[in-house]
């Protein structure tokens, strides 16, 4: 049997085990690379596809992961409408996100994604509709949110202080989060001198430091390279599995990004 | 091995083989790496290969180092006990 047909069967078995499409793609890519390097027979090195898929699924399943019941509703937006002048940006939009879910708000530029997120965050009033939030919110804006003259560590300490975290703990957990996003050299560079992508990572770390129940992220991976992008999703999945409710605004959603709910504003904005 | 340098799956399998553990099959290796990643002991990044496909590199994290130090001590203590017992048995 050729390696490709073994990999094809593996992908099917992994899906059957309930893996996210992103996880399936990662596992299959790992196996494909390994087989290419080693030139071994897939059955020799990985065994039967269904057995290997089971082993992978067991390794991925955290203590409170797959098959968990969904938690309480964290965000409920009903009948949201917003106009700027005569232009309807949002028309009767509904969004419900529960603890343990990731929702993506997608749509073309100008379709009202950021407006909706700001309304959910309570930063903007809708012309009609209600937003109900249960729990603590953390909002990561597309731009801003960092303080130009402060070092990353000082950001961690400042935000940590708001959560009652001691300085050392805040710094350590900020740095640990930064590392999971592939940002290792959290050094003596003030925020204003960081690259756009790194500043965005800082923003993300700050929004996750707070340990919020509801995370609202506006275009969180702008300026990220592919690796950081994959890492971000792995972290978001982890937070979700730990019970966070997450809303991600994005204009680019590829098959790697496994989310539980997609709200496409392009369709709604048509009228 | 990851505490020395980051590495990718197949290279790790080869290093383990050279270290004398025999051929570790991919079916054993990757599930372990996934578990280490899930528990935060290793982190991964994709690196474009020279003309080849992108490779996923595994790197140990600070919490991975802590776990290694802790489990390493446990292992050494265990191995010393077993060695002492076996030495006694083998001498008879």
pLDDT value of position A1: 67
Report chain A residues whose CB lies below 8 A from the CB of B62: 176, 179
Confidence band for A248, pLDDT divided at 50, 70 and 90: very high
Residue A152 in this model has a pLDDT that exceeds 90: yes
Mean pLDDT comparison of A208-212, A223-227, B62-66, highest-scoring range: B62-66
Report chain A residues whose CB lies below 8 A from the CB of B27: 45-47, 51-52, 55
Q: What is the rounded CA–CA span in Å between residue B62 and residue B87?
A: 36
Q: What is the rounded CA–CA span in Å between residue A33 and residue A36?
A: 5
Do the beta carbons of residue A1 and residue A44 sit within 8 Å? no
Q: How high does pLDDT run on average in chain A?
A: 85
pLDDT value of position A130: 95
Distance of CA A227 to the CA centre of its chain: 14
pLDDT value of position B51: 66
3-class secondary structure, A15: helix
Helices and strands per DSSP (H, E), number in chain B? 3, 3
3-class secondary structure, A97: strand
Q: What is the rounded CA–CA span in Å between residue A220 and residue B81?
A: 52
Strands (E), chain A: 73-84, 87-98, 102-106, 128-133, 137-140, 214-218, 245-249, 261-264
CB contact under 8 A, B61 and A58: no
Express each pLDDT in A169-209 by its tens digit. 899 989 988 988 888 888 888 998 998 889 889 988 988 88
pLDDT value of position A63: 45
Mean pLDDT of A134-143: 88
Confidence band for A268, pLDDT divided at 50, 70 and 90: very low
pLDDT value of position A66: 45
CA angle, residues A147, A202, A236, in degrees to nearest 5: 140
pLDDT value of position A92: 92
First to last CA, chain A: 53
pLDDT value of position A69: 63
Mean pLDDT of A142-146: 80
CB contact under 8 A, B62 and A58: no
CB nearest to A45's CB, from B25, B37, B56: B25
Residue A271 in this model has a pLDDT that exceeds 80: no
Q: Which residue has the higher pLDDT, A102 or B2?
A: A102
Closest-CA distance, A52 to chain B, in angstroms, reads 6
Mean pLDDT of A158-169: 87
Q: What is the rounded CA–CA span in Å between residue A227 and residue B46?
A: 5
Report chain B residues whose CB lies below 8 A from the CB of A180: 40, 43, 61
Closest-CA distance, B18 to chain A, in angstroms, reads 15
pLDDT value of position A133: 94
pLDDT value of position A82: 94
Distance (Å) of CA B35 to CA A63, A252, B27, B44, B61:
12, 29, 13, 12, 14
Closest-CA distance, A150 to chain B, in angstroms, reads 25
Confidence band for A255, pLDDT divided at 50, 70 and 90: very low
Relative to beta strand B55-60, strand B42-47 is antiparallel
Residue A136 in this model has a pLDDT that exceeds 80: yes
Distance of CA A70 to the CA centre of its chain: 18
Report chain A residues whose CB lies below 8 A from the CB of B13: 34, 38
pLDDT value of position A267: 56
pLDDT value of position A257: 59
CB nearest to A45's CB, from B26, B34, B63: B26
CB contact under 8 A, B30 and A227: no
Mean pLDDT of A39-58: 88
pLDDT value of position A242: 84
Express each pLDDT in A62-100 by its tens digit. 544 345 567 899 999 999 999 998 888 999 999 999 998
Which has the closest alpha carbon to B14: A37, A29, A30?
A37
DSSP states along A124-175: S--SEEEEEE-S-EEEE-SS--S-TTS-HHHHHHHHHHHTT--HHHHHHHHH
pLDDT value of position A68: 56
CB contact under 8 A, B26 and A38: yes
Count of all residues that appear for chain A in the document: 271
Which has the closest alpha carbon to A117: A48, A207, A36?
A207
| Tokens coding B65 | 């180092």
Percentage of chain A modeled with pLDDT above 90:
35
Q: What is the rounded CA–CA span in Å between residue A201 and residue A183?
A: 8
| Tokens coding A262 | 């997609």
Which of B10, B16, B26 to probe by mutation at the A interface, max A CB count within 10 Å?
Answer: B26
Residues in chain B where the model's pLDDT stays below 70: 49-53, 92
The whole model's pTM is what? 0.56
Q: From B12, which residue of chain A is nearest by alpha-carbon distance? A: A34
Neighbouring residues of A212: CB distance < 8 A, sequence distance ≥ 6: A135, A136, A137, A138, A244
């Amino acid at each position: 049997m050729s390696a490709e047909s073994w990999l094809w069967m593996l992908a099917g078995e992994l899906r059957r085990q309930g893996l996210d499409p992103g996880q399936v793609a990662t596992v299959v890519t790992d196996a494909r690379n390994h087989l290419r390097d080693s030139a071994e027979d897939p059955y020799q090195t990985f065994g039967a596809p269904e057995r290997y898929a089971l082993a992978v699924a067991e390794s991925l399943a955290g203590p409170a992961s797959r098959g968990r019941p969904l938690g309480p509703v964290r965000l409920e937006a009903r009948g949201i409408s917003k106009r700027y002048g005569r232009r309807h940006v949002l028309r009767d939009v509904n969004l419900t996100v529960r603890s343990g879910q990731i929702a993506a708000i997608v749509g073309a530029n100008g379709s009202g994604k950021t407006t909706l997120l700001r309304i959910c965050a309570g930063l903007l009033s809708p012309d009609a509709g209600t937003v109900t939030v249960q729990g603590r919110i953390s909002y990561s804006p597309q731009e801003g949110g960092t303080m130009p003259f402060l070092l990353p560590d000082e950001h961690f300490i400042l935000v940590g202080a708001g959560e009652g975290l001691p300085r050392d703990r805040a710094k350590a957990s900020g740095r640990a989060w930064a590392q999971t996003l592939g940002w290792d050299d959290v050094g003596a560079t003030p925020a204003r001198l960081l690259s756009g992508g790194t500043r965005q990572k800082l923003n993300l770390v700050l929004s996750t430091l707070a340990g919020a129940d509801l995370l609202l992220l506006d275009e969180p991976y702008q300026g990220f390279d592919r690796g950081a992008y994959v890492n971000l999703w792995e972290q978001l999945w982890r937070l979700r599995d730990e019970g966070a409710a997450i809303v991600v605004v994005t204009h680019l959603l590829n098959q790697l990004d496994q989310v539980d709910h997609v709200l496409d504003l392009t369709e709604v904005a048509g009228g | 091995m990851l505490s020395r340098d980051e590495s990718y799956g197949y290279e790790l399998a080869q290093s383990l083989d050279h270290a004398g553990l025999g051929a570790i099959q991919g079916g054993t290796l990757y599930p372990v790496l996934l578990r280490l990643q899930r528990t935060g002991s290793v982190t991964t990044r994709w690196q474009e290969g020279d003309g080849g496909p992108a490779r996923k590199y595994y790197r140990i994290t600070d919490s991975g180092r802590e776990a290694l130090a802790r489990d390493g001590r446990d292992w050494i203590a265990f191995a010393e006990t077993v060695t002492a017992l076996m030495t006694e048995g083998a001498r008879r």
